[in-house]
Amino acid sequence: QNSQEEEEKELISCKVCAQEVKCELKTLLRHTKTCESAPRVDKTFAHVCLMCSYHCQQNECMKRHLVKHISDDKPFECEYCNLKMTRIDNWRRHLEYKHGVKMSARKKSKVGKVTYGKVRTVTIVQGKTFVKIKKPE
């Protein structure tokens, strides 16, 4: 029974066609492009997310999007409102637009904890980002 439960956890049901799809980025990405039930109104519908209404034209955009659905790892945390994000570019944009923090003027910031117990420190000096990951002691 455990192996059956493990198999079920590894499958995601497509909201468009109800097909069970293996929870692997490569397999999910292929399904976003080949699902025959997905509406393909124009070229921006080359990839249609099987879990929400998101659609895009490029593989890389869909890969980044799918990671949000299949990953619990959100290492970038806003020090002002504690919102957690999966990507550093979203974290930077959030700080700038929601809190008025200009990234080029920002010297140093500590950001969240990675789910693996590592602490990630993001340092921004003259607009360049340096990421340092420390292993737990």
Number of residues assigned to the chain: 137
User: What pLDDT is stored for residue 58 in this prediction?
Assistant: 94
Residue 77 or residue 47, greater confidence = 47
Share above pLDDT 70 across residues of the chain, in percent, rounded to a whole number: 68
Has residue 26 got a pLDDT over 50?
yes
Ordered DSSP codes for the chain: -HHHHHHHHTEEE-TTT--EEES-HHHHHHHHHH-TTS---SGGGSEE-SSSS-EES-HHHHHHHHHHHH-----EE-TTT--EES-HHHHHHHHHHHH---TTT--EEEEEE-TTS-EEEEEEETTEEEEEEEPP-
Has residue 14 got a pLDDT over 60?
yes
User: What pLDDT is stored for residue 136 in this prediction?
Assistant: 46
pLDDT tens-place string over residues 27-51: 999 999 999 999 898 988 999 999 9
